[in-house]
Structure 1
Amino acid sequence: MNKFKYYFIVLVTTLSLFSCSKNNTATVEPLRDYSVQYTADNSMIEEYLKNYYFTVTNHPGFSDDQDIVFTQIPSGGTQASVWSYLNRSSFPKLLSRDVNLHGITYKMYYLVLREGTGEKPTNVDGVLASYRGDYLTEVAATTTAAAYLAVTKFEELKYPQSFFNLNNTIVGWSEIFPQFRKGTYTSNADGTVTYSNFGAGVMFIPSGLAYYASGSASIPAYSPLVFSFKLYEVQRLDHDGDGIPSNLEDINGDGYVYDFRNTISYPVTPTTNADDTDADGIPDYLDVDDDGDNYTTKLEIKDANGVMIPFANIPDCSGNTTSTTRVKKYLDKNCH
Structure 2
Amino acid sequence: MRLRKVTLFILILTLGFISCKKDDNAAEDIVVVPPRDRGEQQIADKALLLDYLSKHYYNSSAFTDPNTISTQDLVITKLGDDETDAPDGHTLLSDPGVVETKIVDFADTPYEYYILRLNQGEGGDSPTFADNVDVLYEGFTLDNEVFDSRVNLEKAPFDLVSLIPGWRKVLPQFNTAQSFVENGDGTVDYINHGAGVMFLPSGLAYFSSSIAGIGAYEPIIFKFDLIRTTENDHDGDGIPSFQEDLPDENGVKDGEFIVNFEDLTDEYDDDTDGDGVPNYFDADDDGDGIPTINEDLNEDGDPTNDIGKNGMPNYLDPEETEFVIK
Bin for the TM-score computed over the shorter chain: 0.5 to 0.7
SS of residue paired to 2:59: strand
How far off its partner does 1:213 sit?
1.7
After the TM superposition, which of the residue ranges 113-122 and 74-83 deviates more from structure 2? 74-83
Q: Which residue of 1 aligns with 2:216?
A: 221
SS of residue paired to 2:94: helix
Unaligned runs of 5+ in 2: 1-31, 246-256, 307-326
CA distance 1:259–1:213, shift in 2 (3 Å): closer
CA distance 1:224–1:193, shift in 2 (3 Å): same
1:163 matches 2:147 = no
Q: What CA distance in whole angstroms lies between the structure 1 residues aligned with 2:85 and 2:268?
A: 49
Q: Which residue of 1 aligns with 2:305?
A: 330
CA distance 1:29–1:128, shift in 2 (3 Å): closer
Q: What CA distance in whole angstroms lies between the structure 1 residues aligned with 2:41 and 2:233?
A: 35
CA distance 1:76–1:169, shift in 2 (3 Å): same
Q: What CA distance in whole angstroms lies between the structure 1 residues aligned with 2:139 and 2:169?
A: 16
Match of 2:36 among 7, 32, 36: 32
Q: What CA distance in whole angstroms lies between the structure 2 residues aligned with 1:175 and 1:240?
A: 22
Q: Which residue of 1 aligns with 2:129?
A: 123
Task: Output the amino acid matched with 2:83.
Answer: G
Match of 1:231 among 211, 221, 226: 226
RMSD over equivalenced CA pairs, Å: 2.9
Q: Which residue of 1 aligns with 2:29?
A: none
1:153 matches 2:146 = yes
Q: What CA distance in whole angstroms lies between the structure 2 residues aligned with 1:126 and 1:237?
A: 7
CA contact (8 A) 2:107 2:266 kept: no
How far off its partner does 1:298 sit?
1.2
CA contact (8 A) 1:170 1:210 kept: yes
Q: What CA distance in whole angstroms lies between the structure 2 residues aligned with 1:102 and 1:60?
A: 36
SS of residue paired to 1:83: coil
CA distance 1:76–1:221, shift in 2 (3 Å): same
Match of 1:245 among 232, 240, 251: 240
Q: Which residue of 2 aligns with 1:109?
A: 114
- If the length of structure 2 is used for normalisation, what is the TM-score? 0.67
CA distance 1:169–1:186, shift in 2 (3 Å): same
CA distance 1:308–1:121, shift in 2 (3 Å): closer
Task: Output the amino acid matched with 1:52.
Answer: H
CA distance 1:307–1:197, shift in 2 (3 Å): same
Q: Which residue of 1 aligns with 2:17?
A: none
Q: What CA distance in whole angstroms lies between the structure 2 residues aligned with 1:41 and 1:95?
A: 17
How far off its partner does 1:36 sit?
1.7
1:68 matches 2:74 = yes
Q: What CA distance in whole angstroms lies between the structure 2 residues aligned with 1:232 and 1:179?
A: 13
CA distance 1:194–1:65, shift in 2 (3 Å): farther
RCO higher in 1 or 2 (8 Å CA, sep ≥ 6)? Answer: 2
Q: What CA distance in whole angstroms lies between the structure 2 residues aligned with 1:242 and 1:258?
A: 24
How far off its partner does 1:287 sit?
4.1
Identity %: 37
CA contact (8 A) 1:249 1:284 kept: yes
CA contact (8 A) 1:66 1:200 kept: no
Match of 1:97 among 102, 107, 113: 102
Q: What CA distance in whole angstroms lies between the structure 2 residues aligned with 1:170 and 1:206?
A: 11
1:81 matches 2:92 = yes
CA distance 1:254–1:94, shift in 2 (3 Å): farther
Q: Which residue of 1 aligns with 2:250?
A: none
CA contact (8 A) 1:51 1:73 kept: yes
CA contact (8 A) 1:121 1:255 kept: no
Larger radius of gyration: 1
Q: Which residue of 2 aligns with 1:7?
A: none
Task: Output the amino acid matched with 1:69.
Answer: V
How far off its partner does 1:283 sit?
5.5
C-alpha deviations, 1:40-68, integer Å up to 9, x for none?
A: 11111000111111114346666846731
How far off its partner does 1:179 sit?
0.6
How far off its partner does 1:247 sit?
3.0
CA contact (8 A) 1:129 1:231 kept: yes
How far off its partner does 1:307 sit?
3.1
How far off its partner does 1:253 sit?
3.2
After the TM superposition, which of the residue ranges 36-45 and 198-207 deviates more from structure 2? 36-45
1:44-59 aligned at under 5 Å gives the runs 44-56=48-60, 57-58=62-63
Q: Which residue of 2 aligns with 1:296?
A: 291
How far off its partner does 1:245 sit?
1.8
CA contact (8 A) 2:194 2:226 kept: yes
After the TM superposition, which of the residue ranges 151-160 and 115-124 deviates more from structure 2? 151-160
CA contact (8 A) 1:123 1:255 kept: no
1:176-187 aligned at under 5 Å gives the runs 176-183=170-177, 184-187=179-182
C-alpha deviations, 1:74-117, integer Å up to 9, x for none?
A: 3234224212143xxxxxx4212222123220011111111112
Q: What CA distance in whole angstroms lies between the structure 1 residues aligned with 2:266 and 2:42?
A: 22
